[in-house]
Amino acid sequence: MTTTIKTPHVHLKVVNEKKTDLSLESLFGSVPLTTYSNDPKMDPVPVNWGSADPAVRGPIIATKRGNGLCCHNAIGAHAGPYSIYRALAVASKQLDPDHVPDYTNAEPPVNFPQQPQWSDPSKIVAMDPFGHLAPWLFADSDVEVRPTISITKAHLQLGDLRDEVASGNLPVDGDVVINQMGDLNCTKLAVDPVWYLPGIASRFDISEAALRKSLFEDTNGMYPELITRPDIKVFLPPIGGLTVYIFGDPAKVSDPSSKLALRIHDECSGSDVFGSDICTCRPYLMFGIVEAAKQAQQGGSGVVVYFRKEGRALGEVTKYLVYNARKRGGDTAAEYFHRTECIAGVKDMRFQALMPDILHFLGIKKIDRMLSMSNMKYDAIVEQGIEIRERVPIPDSMIPPDSRVEIDAKIAAGYFTNGKVMTQEELKEVKGRSW
């Protein structure tokens, strides 16, 4: 009985001895580690997720500066992983932490009319449908409201497109394809994720509590408010977002009488940017852009959505380790997924269940030409009530020889094909290049 009294006494003494310059308070000053929902000072600005009226829905507020400490209604920080660079800029005194953004002339150059899907809480759970208008809609707010979507216009110059024009596959029309160089006119949207936790939990058929606990524990406690603020339902996850490229008139994307070609592409920097031949990513991306542009030239519209989910959302470090394991183990289509599972524990962490949110934001109700063979993307889109009329595989002629291992393994695992699905025995004979 006496030892239980002694222990805290000894502990207190140690703290007392070191108090002079090494106490946490002398190092950091007064830093609130978290807030609590039962603290009477907490008064979060209400969020009515799924309301059609932005004034009723309310702004998303993440800042804890000024009034934000009491009235914020989102856990986490804006700009996903880039919030860490902002912290570095503040720490190194290159950015005033109280800098107020001046959004003069930064508003969208294209109007994306509000869709009924924006106010269906079962359809949009992973982004803020008012995110592109936030600073202007909530200009009267006395606490910082930041946009989570921005929209602009661009010309794309891609060498592959120049070749398509030269071969006659993609005509110059002066509108979508601007010139003989194959320059493309587009409207583009950058979207940061904004998660409505009850909706995310429901999409995965788990409880909100299980979701919060896993997000807290598996980020090693980065966001204590996931546990201490059950009254706050919005989370800004520290992950990459997506970019939408629209070819043709953006108003046609949501018009069911107009044809739509769509590619959903998950980032693969090694192939997309640097041309690595181990997968079909860049060839399929280029095929998607060309087909999207052609659909726009034919009076419809084309959309390419580029998700930052590098290496099936396992990351590039894991991806290269898998490449090594494949190449050293005799790279065959039969072993393709197994090698990923050995290292990552799963085949894939892209969770396409959240992907269709952007299609709902754009008001897409049907897709005439789906420029993807992925059964996971197909199932996720159809499950969300969006019809897919035709699935368009990458032409065989665009598949680099070393990537046959990947594409044949994927087709055997359920990817769409108009051709043959190989047996397990045949997959053993599909071999990649060794080092």
Return the active site residues: 348, 350
Q: Least distance from C-beta 277 to Zn ion, angstroms? A: 10
Strands 387-388 and 366-367: parallel
Q: Least distance from C-beta 263 to Zn ion, angstroms? A: 14
Q: Least distance from C-beta 278 to Zn ion, angstroms? A: 7
Binding segment (CB under 5 A) for Zn ion, from list 53-61, 183-191, 262-270, 290-298: 262-270
Nearer to Zn ion, 73 or 271 (CB): 271
Separation between Cα atoms, residue 92 and residue 233, nearest integer Å: 32
Instruction: Name residue 151's beta-bridge partners.
Output: 189
Q: Binding string, 271-300, against Zn ion, x = CB under 5 A? A: x-------x-x-------------------
Nearer to Zn ion, 216 or 415 (CB): 415
CB atoms within 10 A of CB 318: 17
Nearer to Zn ion, 149 or 278 (CB): 278
Closest by CA to 282, choosing from 293, 266, 299, is: 266
Separation between Cα atoms, residue 162 and residue 17, nearest integer Å: 72
Instruction: Give the amino acid at 395.
Output: P
Q: Does 322 bind Zn ion (CB under 5 A)?
A: no
Binding segment (CB under 5 A) for Zn ion, from list 10-18, 47-55, 267-275, 321-329: 267-275
Q: Does 268 bind Zn ion (CB under 5 A)?
A: yes
Separation between Cα atoms, residue 111 and residue 125, nearest integer Å: 22
Separation between Cα atoms, residue 401 and residue 407, nearest integer Å: 10
Strands 234-236 and 195-196: antiparallel
Binding residues with Zn ion: total (CB under 5 A): 4
Q: Least distance from C-beta 435 to Zn ion, angstroms? A: 18
Binding segment (CB under 5 A) for Zn ion, from list 98-106, 247-255, 263-271, 337-345: 263-271
Binding segment (CB under 5 A) for Zn ion, from list 121-129, 195-203, 269-277, 289-297: 269-277
Nearer to Zn ion, 148 or 271 (CB): 271
3-class DSSP state of 404: helix
Separation between Cα atoms, residue 288 and residue 88, nearest integer Å: 38
Q: Least distance from C-beta 267 to Zn ion, angstroms? A: 9
What string of DSSP letters covers 66-94? TTHHHH--EEE-TTGGGHHHHHHHHHTTS
**Unique residue bearing structure tokens 């069911």:** 256
Nearer to Zn ion, 208 or 277 (CB): 277
Q: Least distance from C-beta 307 to Zn ion, angstroms? A: 13
Distances (CA, A) of 357 to 67, 118, 144, 383: 31, 9, 26, 12
Q: Least distance from C-beta 403 to Zn ion, angstroms? A: 8
- Residues 202-231 contacting Zn ion, CB under 5 A: none
Q: Least distance from C-beta 246 to Zn ion, angstroms? A: 24
Binding segment (CB under 5 A) for Zn ion, from list 198-206, 232-240, 264-272, 313-321: 264-272
User: Residues with Cβ < 8 Å from 271, sequence gap 6 or more?
Assistant: 277, 278, 279, 280, 281, 282
Distances (CA, A) of 228 to 58, 213, 367: 22, 11, 42
Residue 350: what are its φ and ψ, rounded to 5°? Answer: -80, -20
Q: Does 405 bind Zn ion (CB under 5 A)?
A: no
Binding segment (CB under 5 A) for Zn ion, from list 155-163, 242-250, 270-278, 407-415: 270-278
Separation between Cα atoms, residue 44 and residue 37, nearest integer Å: 9
Nearer to Zn ion, 285 or 386 (CB): 285
CB atoms within 10 A of CB 211: 20
Closest by CA to 334, choosing from 432, 429, 239, 433, is: 429
Nearer to Zn ion, 28 or 274 (CB): 274
Separation between Cα atoms, residue 47 and residue 232, nearest integer Å: 9
Nearer to Zn ion, 115 or 280 (CB): 280
Footprint on this chain of Zn ion (rule: CB under 5 A):
268, 271, 279, 281
